[in-house]
Amino acid sequence: MNRVVSGTAARIVKRLPVLIMSVFLLSACGWFGGKKEQVEVPAELVDFQQVLDVKRIWRINIGKGNSNQGISLAPAFDSGRVFAADYRGNILAVDAETGKQQWRAKTKLPISAGPSAAEGLVLVGTLEGTVHALDGTSGAQRWQARVSSEVLSTPVLHDNVVIVRCIDGRVFGLDRNSGDRLWIFDQAVPRLTLRGNSTPLARAGIVYIGYDGGQVVALRAEDGSEIWNEPLVAPQGRSELERLVDFDGRMALVASDLYVANYKSTLLAVAANNGNRLWFKDVGSATGVVVDRLRLALSDNDGSLWLLDRRSGATLWKQDMLEFRGLTRPAIYGNYVVVGDMEGYLHWFDIETGNLVARSKTDKDGLASAPLSVGTTLYVLANNGDLVAYRAGAAI
């Protein structure tokens, strides 16, 4: 059934936001079942022989980094520039090679999503339910648009349409040049969900949206019409907490295969044209997946790092040495899988063997988001607002 509705018919659905970390700790508080359990202790870092030379090539501070409101801002790359934002409204563009600032916009907006950058446009969303488009060359504001609620997932530009997912379950299609509303898709969300939303994934005129009730939806970017809507994970359990099945992590698409992971227990490959399951694996992730031509990497909720065959889901290796260290989504950087942790370390693993080959410290306050791998450079945004670029060279 087509669920595109007009702006006047739209109704804001209130929801109860829950921080991911709060969900992880509830079992230790004994709220559901009366029995207190010990909070898991992060694994200590082990000594090892570093065999990969990792060098920091530049560092620049963008402002205050992330807040404590459950947002996750991440750097973006476009046309030789890296863009980053903080929750107080600073948006920065730097030369990707040198780290030299090209422009800084002090918007004073409560930025909660983004930035994304494509085709000369930089997009951010806010806690106030607005979307802002800036010129990628100068930082000048092009337009702003009002949507129905907080924006916690990065706005995406595709086929001249800006796609925005809101916390109330609505997806907006906005005109690239003006920000005018083109369409709205409305999908109900559960009352209790994790705080955060999966970023829309767009390819070949189709937009894929992961929902908090365990569904993935495919929409036409042009008009928001529904192509398919599949309940991939069914809520189970007596309490609302047990029934959480959010798709909040980053999705990935290779050829005709779509990869999605729900926070709780399931990783799936589905056919992008109809949502049919191709395979599934009992691995949950709140941060999502990253893929290359043949492999898929993810960090699960216990802090294990996985590398899988993306065609079958078969495990190539699993690394448990970083358990309960609050891992980011990993990045694939050449022949390495790189993941950040809550203490600001980057851990570099050989993609073939799963062996730890390097470790680098970015910031003691932790990392704001997954590393961004572009060519021979890895970009990282730390929670203190530092944007840092690394390169890995020959073996030591």
Give pLDDT tens digits for 178-215.
Answer: 999 999 999 877 565 556 678 999 999 999 999 887 88
Residue 231 confidence (pLDDT) above 90: no
Tell me whether residue 214 is exposed, middle or buried, using C-beta atoms within 10 angstroms of its C-beta: 0 to 12, 13 to 18, 19 or more.
buried
Contacts of 312 (CB under 8 A, 6+ apart): 279
Tell me whether residue 46 is exposed, middle or buried, using C-beta atoms within 10 angstroms of its C-beta: 0 to 12, 13 to 18, 19 or more.
exposed
Residue 56 confidence (pLDDT) above 70: yes
> For the residues 282-286, what does the mean pLDDT come to?
90
Lowest-pLDDT choice from 83-87, 238-242, 295-299: 238-242
More confident call, 294 vs 265: 294
Residue 37 confidence (pLDDT) above 90: no
Residue 7 confidence (pLDDT) above 80: no
Q: What percent of the chain has pLDDT over 90?
A: 72
Residue 391 confidence (pLDDT) above 60: yes
What residue ranges define each of the domains in the chain, with the CATH number in brackets? 71-187 (2.40.128.630)
> What tens digit of pLDDT does each residue of 111-123 get?
999 999 999 999 9
Q: Any bridge partners for residue 249, and if so which?
A: none
The reported pTM is 0.88
C-alpha distance across the termini of the chain, in Å = 59
> What tens digit of pLDDT does each residue of 313-326 get?
999 999 999 999 99
More confident call, 231 vs 89: 89
Q: Which two tokens stand for residue 169?
A: 């379950």
Strands of 147-272, DSSP E: 156-158, 161-165, 171-175, 181-185, 192-194, 201-203, 206-210, 215-220, 226-231, 252-254, 257-261, 267-271
- In the prediction, which pLDDT does 241 show? 58
Lowest-pLDDT choice from 9-23, 201-215, 272-286, 312-326: 9-23
Contacts of 7 (CB under 8 A, 6+ apart): 181, 184
- In the prediction, which pLDDT does 5 show? 40
In this prediction, residue 330 has a pLDDT band, given cuts at 50, 70 and 90, of: very high
Lowest-pLDDT choice from 54-58, 225-229, 239-243, 248-252: 239-243
Residue 291 confidence (pLDDT) above 70: yes
Start-end of H helices in the chain: 20-29
In this prediction, residue 90 has a pLDDT band, given cuts at 50, 70 and 90, of: very high
Residue 14 confidence (pLDDT) above 70: no
Residue 280 confidence (pLDDT) above 80: yes
CB neighbourhood size of 264 (10 A): 21
Residue 373 confidence (pLDDT) above 80: yes
- In the prediction, which pLDDT does 239 show? 61
More confident call, 109 vs 23: 109
- In the prediction, which pLDDT does 219 show? 98
Contact status, residue 18 vs residue 195, Cβ threshold 8 Å: yes
Residue 370 confidence (pLDDT) above 70: yes
> For the residues 155-161, what does the mean pLDDT come to?
97
Residue 89 confidence (pLDDT) above 80: yes
Q: What percent of the chain has pLDDT over 70?
A: 83
In this prediction, residue 33 has a pLDDT band, given cuts at 50, 70 and 90, of: very low
